[in-house]
Chain A
Amino acid sequence: MTTLQRTVGADVTRVEGHQKVTGTALYAYEYPVPDALYAWAVQSTVPRGRVRAVHAGAALALPGVVAVLDSRNVFRLRPAGDPELAVLQSADVAYRGQIVAAVVADSYETAGQAAAAVRVEYDVDDHDAELTDGDPRIFVPDTVNGGYPGQTETGDVEAALAAAPVVLDATYTTPPEHTSAMEPHATIAVWDEDSLTLYNGDQGPWMTAATLAELFGLPEGAVRVVADHTGGGFGSKAVPRPPTVLAALAARAVGRPVKVAATRQQMFTMVTYRTPTLQRVRLGAERDGRLTAVWHDALQQSSTLAPYCEQTATPTRVMYAARHRRTTHRLAQLDVPTPSWMRAPGEAPGMFALESAMDELAVALGMDPIELRVVNEPSVDPESGHPFSSRNLVACLREGAARFGWAGRDPAPGRRREGRWLVGTGVAASVFPAITWPATATARAEPDGTFTVRIAAADIGTGARTALTQVAADELGVEIDRVTLDIGRSAYGQAPFAGGSMGTSSWGWAVAKACRALAKRLGESAGAVPPGGLEELADTAEDVAARRDFSRHAYGAQFARVRVDAVTGQVRVDRLLGMFAAGRIINPRTAGSQLRGGMCMGLSMALHEGLEVDPRFGDFANHDLATYHIAANADVRDVQAYWLEEDDDELNPMGSKGVGELGIVGTAAAIANAVYHATGVRVRDLPITVERVRAGLPGH
């Protein structure tokens, strides 16, 4: 018997890499479905009102057009939680860009042409699409995304601020942002009597199937979702969005399979976005840097359809010790599309504000920003009082500082010049909760000595399929090439979506449990596999529920070196270095890729991304990739991600925390802090544009 190498922790290349680079990996829109028609959404051109009439004559007169759908001639859906999914269920218009009709035709091109020929008449109501502080309709929700309380309070924060020798009080804003996944949202819907198959670009096939079954009043299992490969989602494909429902509605209406692919422009209003935030952070500190008061208030928006409130102030609840604390979320429901999850919802915008404020406080105190964070390191979770399952923020700051070359940094801003460039460095902390949801998986031993593991997971480009294969191989005690991980099908059973950085932890637990049970059975039968194979099903619901009360988070330290053109104000990020502690890293290749990718997203958030609300029209004026800027290759220079070994027995059998979003969090603050160090200009509003930098430079 040969000695098996454990593969968890090994640098394993992606198991589907060959398929992807050779173009044989099928994405939703590419499945060969015979006899399919094409649906194209007609979107509202008014921000609020009611559809009075849909004039379909011109569209129906075009050769190849099969049907024009609107709220009068589609299947009546049942409510299923998210009101955005009530596609074409009413004549009411809640925002500009909402689907008000759709054309079904025999080609994608004809459908698009016909959609442009549909004339919709509206009764138009007054609208308000502009987030303004002081709006009397603003309220504090009881809970925010993730189920966290909308507001928390400990001690007397106002008195503590009044008494604090050093106070920082600053307001930060982040704009609405869009996920803009490379694969636009795409679905093929195929009905067979009362069962529905959806080929769907999807982060969560099981949940999509369950939601669609609910909408159509079908029993669980009557809807099957196939999502073998998904071209990114970043939250926007975690749950079904209107285009998926439209495909199912249209296919039902015409009695043939229907394909829907959102255009790049349509995506900006049809598949959610990140809320803008206006955040005020107040910090009170002793002269030695110890925080006495922390107050983080976040104003955000949602639609009139649903009060989605991003959990922006929640990272402030765990980051630093202080006796007196308050966090508040405030929400305005406007005539806009409903925002939702995007790339570290809550943590990404929230930590931009908190970690910028910590840097500003360090400046006010004349203290090194790393030391300021170290002196405020809590021994237990500052709000819940729970012990940390593991927390290595200080170690990340120290080790990151050593690798980055932080020692000896002159804190004075605007002093380092290289030719026409002003140079500076900045640091910020990162945090992301280590979430685990219950999941089910099956593990099969085949008579030929191979193994098949099935779980309704999704690999949206992260490497999840590979990491899960490693987990399975180790539990089974076999080489990785004997294990096939089948994912991406709702039929494989209940499993959470790829989101909240919980995928691999949640799915991995179920995979490990199923494989362990199978290995045990094989051990009992001395390895003999009957002709029909052996199969074990695992469900981790009880295991997850039985976990003890701990504060479970991954942490990190982000370092940035920037150059700012002293003539123009253009910012160049020369170097990003992230030092993370995220439990056990299952695959350094894919985890490193995720962390570096996250840091690039953070860079993009810092310098480039921003939707421009046009309050007159009620939509985003920029809605394509030429005018909604995402960092290009040329913007990304030296990006390095490292991690500490971290043992944590309170997580899951792998000892892993998620790494999908950790790399994003804090990056924007590290860059903004470096811009301050380079120039002396504190930019509190993202993105950091030339005019915002120039406004603070001497002579402007």
Chain B
Amino acid sequence: MKPFAYERATTPETAATLVADSTEAVYLAGGTNLVDLMKLGVTEPAVVVDITRLPYDAIEHRPDGGVLIGALVSGSRLAGDPGVRERFPALAEALLSGASGQLRTVATTGGNLLQRTRCVYFQDVTKPCNKRQPGTGCSAVQGLHRDLAVLGTSDACVASHPSDMAVAMAALDAVVHLRRVNGSPRALPLNDFYLLPGDTPDRETVLQPGDLITGVELPPPPEGVAMSYRKVRDRWSYAFALVSVAAVVATAADGTLRDIRLGLGGVGTRPWRAREAERLLTGRRPTEEGLREAARAEFASARPLPGNAFKIDLAVDVITSAVRDLVGGERR
């Protein structure tokens, strides 16, 4: 690991100044991903600014049923919050399906949004990777890519976003709250927060230097909604998603889908909002065939590779089954 300076910020102002002053400075919260990457030499910051003392550690439930989650709220605390469990069970399920108990105790909400891909080539500094070293080429397309994306990929990069939490948040129309370097607040939908890799896979979000995530807001869930998070993985804990589906569904009195929101994990270069499937299903009756068709339509633009093509059928099956069970009154 390259030596680095460690600073502990006591105010947002000092944190922002410390980070904005250097092109090689990063914020440190839980550190569960950042420190690994530093050990591997993937990330070599000159300055690490510890923000864990900043006042972003509250969960504020709003009278309208929404919630503002501080960026420093840990995964375990968020998953165990009674209001979250009651009104946003898919988020609690997503959190509990990710990482391990130890990691969730330390990892933060803001840091979770900024997890880096676990692509094996990104994490191995002896091999080419456009995300780590732009212009060196992508090793994954012709190599090991079973865990990587089929949606949103480019010739330069097929890395998948690893977060479970962010997939549930994508389906819940989360809004990311930022503090700019100059102190001004900014809020933007989580679904606009992540960039597609395109030719610049090293740029993953819209964050500008010094921007600090302060929280994530979830608007109140629609009336009469049912939701779930389903994750398919290689072992029953402590594994990233092969495919995951966050489904948020509200049915009208006539049995049609009044509101449907689908977040997909394991298949996208970012937490994937399945807009096309949602469009095809909204206002329709959730028949088995209709669900399958809509799910398949979401993958019309997919670029499967030999080792991950199975994810498309798998995702179609899981989407279909998840929505069907929610409509049928089964949460799982």
User: Which residues of A does B touch, CB under 8 Å?
Assistant: 45, 109, 112-113, 116, 265, 420, 567-570, 572, 607-608, 612, 614, 616-617, 621-624, 626-627, 629, 631-635, 689-691, 694-695, 700
A689–B232 alpha-carbon span in the complex (Å): 11
The residue among A621, A695, A700 with the most chain B CB atoms within 10 A of its own CB is A621
Binding-face segment, B50-58, B237-245, B254-262:
B237-245
Report yes or no: B126 in contact with A690, Cβ–Cβ below 8 A: no
Q: Which of B126, B237, B240, B243 meets A634, CB within 8 Å?
A: B237
How far, in Å, is A127 (CB) from chain B's closest CB?
A: 15
How far, in Å, is A681 (CB) from chain B's closest CB?
A: 14
Counting from the closest, the 6 A-B pairs by CB-CB distance are A634-B237, A634-B236, A621-B144, A691-B310, A45-B126, A567-B321
Given A113-B2, A621-B121, A629-B239, A608-B234 contact (CB < 8 Å): yes
Q: Which of B40, B234, B314 meets A694, CB within 8 Å?
A: B314
How far, in Å, is A561 (CB) from chain B's closest CB?
A: 16
Whether, in the assembled complex, B3 has its beta carbon less than 8 Å from a beta carbon of chain A, the answer is yes
How far, in Å, is B221 (CB) from chain A's closest CB?
A: 25
Report yes or no: B310 in contact with A617, Cβ–Cβ below 8 A: no
Report yes or no: A632 in contact with B127, Cβ–Cβ below 8 A: no
Q: Which of B118, B123, B317 meets A568, CB within 8 Å?
A: B317
Given A567-B318, A694-B310, A112-B1 contact (CB < 8 Å): yes
0/1 string, B114-127, CB within 8 A of A gives 1: 00001011011111
- Smallest Cβ-Cβ distance to A265: which chain B residue: B40
Residues of B within 8 A of A635 (CB): 235-237
Whether, in the assembled complex, B198 has its beta carbon less than 8 Å from a beta carbon of chain A, the answer is no
Given A45-B126, A614-B143, A632-B235 contact (CB < 8 Å): yes
How far, in Å, is A294 (CB) from chain B's closest CB?
A: 34
A624–B313 alpha-carbon span in the complex (Å): 29
Residues of B within 8 A of A689 (CB): 234
- Smallest Cβ-Cβ distance to B238: which chain A residue: A632
Report yes or no: B127 in contact with A617, Cβ–Cβ below 8 A: yes
A694–B313 alpha-carbon span in the complex (Å): 10
Residues of A within 8 A of B2 (CB): 113, 116
Residues of A within 8 A of B102 (CB): none
Report yes or no: B232 in contact with A690, Cβ–Cβ below 8 A: yes
Residues of A within 8 A of B243 (CB): 568
Report yes or no: B235 in contact with A629, Cβ–Cβ below 8 A: yes
Interface contacts beyond A568-B232, A568-B243: sample of 17 additional A-B pairs, CB < 8 Å, sorted by A? A567-B317, A567-B318, A567-B321, A568-B317, A608-B234, A612-B144, A616-B142, A617-B127, A617-B139, A621-B121, A622-B144, A626-B118, A627-B118, A627-B147, A629-B235, A689-B234, A694-B314
Whether, in the assembled complex, B41 has its beta carbon less than 8 Å from a beta carbon of chain A, the answer is yes
Residues of A within 8 A of B236 (CB): 572, 632, 634-635
Given A113-B1, A627-B118, A635-B235, A621-B317 contact (CB < 8 Å): no
Residues of B within 8 A of A622 (CB): 120, 144
Q: Which of B1, B237, B238, B310 meets A690, CB within 8 Å?
A: B310
Residues of A within 8 A of B1 (CB): 109, 112-113
0/1 string, B289-310, CB within 8 A of A gives 1: 0000000000000000000001
Report yes or no: A690 in contact with B118, Cβ–Cβ below 8 A: no
Residues of B within 8 A of A690 (CB): 232, 234, 242, 310, 314
A600–B318 alpha-carbon span in the complex (Å): 29
How far, in Å, is B322 (CB) from chain A's closest CB?
A: 9
- Smallest Cβ-Cβ distance to A626: which chain B residue: B118
The residue among B120, B147, B237, B318 with the most chain A CB atoms within 10 A of its own CB is B120
- Smallest Cβ-Cβ distance to B236: which chain A residue: A634
Report yes or no: B143 in contact with A621, Cβ–Cβ below 8 A: yes
A109–B318 alpha-carbon span in the complex (Å): 45
How far, in Å, is B145 (CB) from chain A's closest CB?
A: 9
Report yes or no: B144 in contact with A614, Cβ–Cβ below 8 A: yes
Residues of B within 8 A of A572 (CB): 236
A626–B239 alpha-carbon span in the complex (Å): 7
